[in-house]
Chain A
């Protein structure tokens, strides 16, 4: 291990307190500031009165523990609020920042990449499909691939390729997915039924989410809005308004709540 004081003009992490790194040999290094230079991580720590820089090969790091970057928090909030133009550049910046560490457990690259893709898909960006495909290639990260498949289903639905969407759904259902995944799959099945004019089937699909997967909060605003629309189309206006009110009351800052406010008054 070399102790060096180096003036660096390389890409820097934002100076964040509370970072720590677990190495292959079991050591844990806590840092107040870190930088990446090539394939190395330069960690700054205090030694007495002075700061000391230590260099570690990235390949030796097993896990990193970072507080969530503010820009990423902002990006995810922006997605929830439907502000995709704000979300995309923020998420992109975080992706770039964490790109060298993307294979390290605890890196924020995965979350940033997902947030980025979610925003692009929601915005119906022309390159959304390309980015989703890229995520699906990350085969050593099964969680990321699963999330990418969900985004793929969304893309298929937006393009009205219902059969293709259903194929992915069926394939995912067979793999005993988590509650969160099931919640999304039921939403998608509801979307397909809705698009085919089978509003009662759509309602029943959507309602599987609050009944059986009610703890999956992330899926709820979308579900409530979708079921409100399905009730409306089916002709059950009372229940439609109730669902609109629920999404507005429980998730007031969400993009779905804003849409609900408009649709409720129509």
Chain B
């Protein structure tokens, strides 16, 4: 702790007085009547009382008298001058204090006196803002005096800061802070040092300093200063893109309420300390200085506190800075939390739209689509005209684009396009949004919309960034829509505007295709040949060009040339779809020329060359079919077996089922007639099963549940084709007992149907659900959805039924179950009382010739019911006509015929045609094949009631 200057002086005086008293001898000299020692006593008393003016008067006189030759034993003139200088210092007469102190130091003062004099001199100079002069004084003192080291370092640093000698100031503060005297002054010095480091861009050092200070908060008066510095540091680090460190700084900043509350406690404490210090008398220069420092600090604190009090956006600014820092570091979840907090808690912040934008951006980047939607909605609701909306929606659209949520994508794009339309700033953005919209429409098969949007782009942006893409997409949209003339115009326009365009090769090929479509074969062939000459043999579309060439030749009836072109296409790169097309065309043409063997050889080569290609199953199918037709049954089976056995244990290879059905057809063929023209008996069921096992489970197969299921399935299909229904059903039962995971999707669907037929809804539902969950993209997924729809319908959950039937079509593509799905939808809509939609579907079913039969009868019946529900004579008559058509034209379908008779009679009755109704009932009763239906008993009862038989 600090030793006091004035007590030392006082001690001298006191000791001297005692000495003199004990000795009983004074060497006092009188001048002006007052003895020096008395004057010294009075000066001491004045000093203790804080009466510095008196001290000055007294000591000036004393010093003058001693300088004039008088003496007081036991006193040292330098010490007396020091006392005088101190008094001047206390009264802020720094120039006079300086003069006296310099005079002392010019002499030969004692080490202690010199020390004190230097300290006082430095302070005096600093007070007079002679900072450059004060620096060496304090520097010297800090090195020579243990007692004054810390103070000297502090003042050296302060003077150096004021003199703009930052490195000197930093060095001094750094040395000071290494001391262990950690008090309010120390903490203040630490803050100042940190501030200097920030000013000097030593941000990492500043960061370390703040971290350290936070661990010593109890000695810190200037809490508000600490927080402001932390904020400044954070900003400085952010500007240097040191986001991790910026966050560290921001995270140490307290919220406004806490800052003010903590500061209030500290301010009160500091005020009390000042008051306490001020009450100490006498006050030496150190205490005076301490008080001055504390008061200065207090003023600064009050000023800073006022700043924070007035800064209502302090918290939001902090949170926003943190959010952006997190975002830059890709810590998007953290950024989201902060943006959300700003939006939730600070409704009046002027820059809320930035937080909205940040939120949309983060959610979009993370791909959290549902949150993207809600955040965009919230942004639009609050700031529909913001300049940032366009960008936000664009980002949202980018996030949604890869998902299947085309509805949301289109919604965003619509907003984005319309927002962009109004703002010139967003012109480029609007172009991007338009193209994105066009792409979305095109991908979503909304070709008319794609065409319209691209046309709009071409008009609005004749020099646009994406003009080429828009022009070509416009042509392609017309192509898909089948507007041949418009395609040609658009393609020619494209070629004119972009002769070396990216899509030129494709455009030329498309024009050749248009010639083919319009059956202009010669010009088409010419175009294709020109194309083939112009482009290299390795061109990615060479295969397509040869395929088109084949089509043209085929159109011209030149089948051999067509085949040759197709074969050339096979040598080039083709997409799977094109490959399949070409292979099928070659096969078809070979067959038309009765060159089946060549077709089979082609497929065999394909299977050899590309054993892992998905079409190898197709190869097996054709080979099997052709060789079977050639009577080479065993060869066919062997070829099919060689291929299928490679995939038989893998349930994900869906095409295997197609091949197994083909094999079943081969296996089910009756044996050839013997030489005696008699047909030998076919294989027994067990023998057939063994044969199938032998064919399918070859040496290279690792049997598992899936291979077993497939063997059983083939056996079941074979039994079915051999009209052994019971055998089939028994095998299906066995298959049904195998774990679902072993079932390929096609078999899952088929067995599910069987189990449903048997009435086991629970198990069937499990199978269907497994199918659609495990194999959502399977071509057999519609089995699952239709099955689930059927079950829901039976359970009278018509809404769910409608949903499932719709999924079968909309999601699974209804490759196999379109009829069932359409009928199921129609019936569900009927039950949900959505008659308009139901009618439309029933009419669709009834008019579909390929479905002619029971579906037609069913549909007509329901159309009758729909008409009947409407009521009124005309509708009832229409209903009756529908019912009548069923029982007249579809007699085969007993259940519907029976129902139709009853309903027809009921409707006739409603129309007041009682006798016709009776006749209708009696007509039903005459149909023997309808006797087993419950409607028979109903008809009998009603007929007897209406027209009792006597």
Report which A residues bind B (CB closer than 8 A). 200, 203-204, 207-208, 210-211, 214-215, 236, 239
Q: Are B333 and A210 in contact (CB under 8 A)?
A: no
A51 to B336, CA, bound (A): 66
Task: Compute how far the CA of A210 lies from the CA of B333 in the bound complex, rounded to whole angstroms.
Answer: 12
7 A–B contact pairs at CB < 8 A?
A204-B333, A207-B333, A211-B334, A211-B338, A214-B251, A215-B214, A215-B251
Min Cβ gap B180→A in Å is 19
> In the complex the two chains form, is A203's CB within 8 Å of B333's CB?
yes
A204 vs B334: C-alpha distance when bound (angstroms): 8
Q: Measured between alpha carbons, how far is A211 from B337 in the docked complex, in Å?
A: 9
The size of the chain B interface, using a CB distance under 8 A, is 12
In the complex, B368 has a CB within 8 A of chain A: yes
**Residue B322 is within 8 A (CB to CB) of chain A in the complex:** yes
What CA separation (Å) do A239 and B251 show in the bound complex? 21
Known: A207-B337, A214-B251, A239-B333. 11 other contacts (CB 8 A): A203-B333, A204-B333, A204-B336, A207-B333, A207-B334, A208-B337, A211-B251, A211-B326, A211-B338, A215-B214, A215-B252
Q: Which of B322, B337, B338 has the most CB of A within 10 A?
A: B337
Chain A residues near B336 (CB, 8 Å)? Answer: 204
Which B residues are in CB contact (< 8 Å) with A211? 251, 322, 326, 334, 337-338
A211 smallest CB distance to B (angstroms): 6
A208 cross-chain contacts in B, Cβ below 8 A: 337
Report the separation of the CA atoms of residues A239 and B362 in the bound assembly, to the nearest whole angstrom. Answer: 14
Rounded to whole angstroms, the CA-CA distance of A195 and B337 in the bound complex is 21
Q: Please give, as numbers and ranges, the residues of chain A lying within 8 Å of B333 by CB-CB distance.
A: 203-204, 207, 239
CB pair B337–A204 under 8 Å, yes or no, is: yes
Q: How far is the CB of A235 from chain B (nearest CB, A)?
A: 10
Set of chain A residues within 8 Å of B322, measured between Cβ atoms: 211
Which of B251, B326, B333, B366 has most chain A Cβ within 10 Å?
Answer: B333
Q: How many A-B residue pairs have CB under 8 A?
A: 22
Give the distance in Å from the alpha carbon of A251 to the alpha carbon of B333 in the complex.
Answer: 22
User: How far does the alpha carbon of A214 sit from the alpha carbon of B251 in the complex, in Å?
Assistant: 7
Q: Binary interface profile of B, 335-351, with partner A (CB < 8 Å = 1, else 0)?
A: 01110000000000000
**Cβ of A204: which chain B residues have Cβ within 8 Å of it?**
333, 336-337
Q: How far is the CA of A200 from the CA of B333 in the complex (A)?
A: 9
Interface, chain B (partner A; CB < 8 A): 214, 251-252, 322, 326, 333-334, 336-338, 366, 368
Chain B residues with CB below 8 A from A203, complex form: 333
Q: How far is the CB of B538 from chain A (nearest CB, A)?
A: 39
Nearest CB of chain A from residue B401's CB, rounded to whole Å: 19
B338 → chain A closest CB, angstroms: 7
> CA A203 – CA B337 in complex, angstroms?
10
List A contacts of B251 (CB < 8 A).
Answer: 211, 214-215
Provide the bound-state CA to CA distance between A200 and B322, in Å. 21
Which B residue sits closest to A210, measured CB to CB?
B334
CB contacts (< 8 Å) of A207 on chain B: these are 333-334, 337
A211 to B252: give the CA distance in the assembly, Å: 10
Bound-complex Cα distance A200 to B251 (A):
23
> What is the distance, in angstroms, from A230's C-beta to the closest C-beta of chain B?
10
Contacts of B252 in A (CB 8 A): 215
Residues of A within 8 A of B334 (CB): 207, 210-211
Q: How far is the CB of B46 from chain A (nearest CB, A)?
A: 38
By a CB distance below 8 angstroms, the chain B residues around A236 are 366
Contact residues in A for B366 (Cβ distance below 8 Å): 236
Most chain B C-beta atoms within 10 Å of own C-beta, residue among A207, A208, A215, A236: A207
Q: How far apart are A37's CB and chain B's nearest CB, in angstroms? A: 38
The answer for the CA separation of A207 and B333 in the assembled complex, in Å, is 8
- Please give the distance in Å from A21's CB to the nearest CB on chain B: 24
Which residues of chain A come closer than 8 Å to B337, judged between CB atoms? Answer: 204, 207-208, 211
Using known A-B contacts A215-B251, A215-B252, A239-B333, determine if residue A200 contacts B338 with beta carbons closer than 8 Å. no
A160: min CB distance to chain B, Å = 26
Chain B residue at minimum C-beta to C-beta distance from A227: B333
A15 to B584, CA, bound (A): 97
For the complex of A and B, the 4 pairs showing the least CB-CB separation, nearest first, are A214-B251, A207-B334, A211-B334, A207-B333
- Neighbouring B residues of A214 by C-beta, 8 Å: 251
Q: Across the two chains, which residue of chain A brings its CB closest to B258?
A: A179
Q: How far is A208 from B336 in the complex, measured between Cα atoms in Å?
A: 11
B214 to chain A, nearest CB (A): 8
Min CB distance, A183 to chain B, in Å? 13
A205 (CB) vs chain B CBs: closest residue: B337
- How far is B250's CA from A214's CA once the two chains are assembled, in angstroms? 11
| CA distance in complex: A200, B338 (Å) | 15
Q: What separation, in Å, do the CA atoms of A44 and B338 have in the docked complex?
A: 58
Give Cα distance in the complex from A227 to B334, angstroms: 12
B326 partner residues in chain A, CB cutoff 8 A: 211
CA distance A92 to B687 in the complex (A): 79
| Cα(A174)–Cα(B29), bound, Å | 81
Q: A215 vs B337: C-alpha distance in the bound complex, in angstroms? A: 18
Considering only CB atoms, which chain A residue lies closest to B323 in the complex?
A: A211
Chain A residues in 8 Å Cβ range of B338: 211
Chain A residues with Cβ under 8 A from B214's Cβ? 215
Minimal Cβ-Cβ distance residue in A for B251? A214
Residue of A with least CB distance to B322: A211
Which residue of B251, B252, B322, B368 has the most chain A CB atoms within 10 A of its CB atom?
A: B251
Shortest Cβ distance from A212 into chain B, in angstroms?
8
Q: Quick one: closest B residue to A238, CB to CB?
A: B330
Give Cα A152–Cα B322 distance, bound, in whole angstroms: 34
**CB closest residue in chain A, given B368:** A200
Min CB gap A219→B, angstroms: 14
Q: Shortest distance in angstroms between A55's beta carbon and chain B's nearest beta carbon?
A: 36
- CA distance in complex: A210, B251 (Å): 9
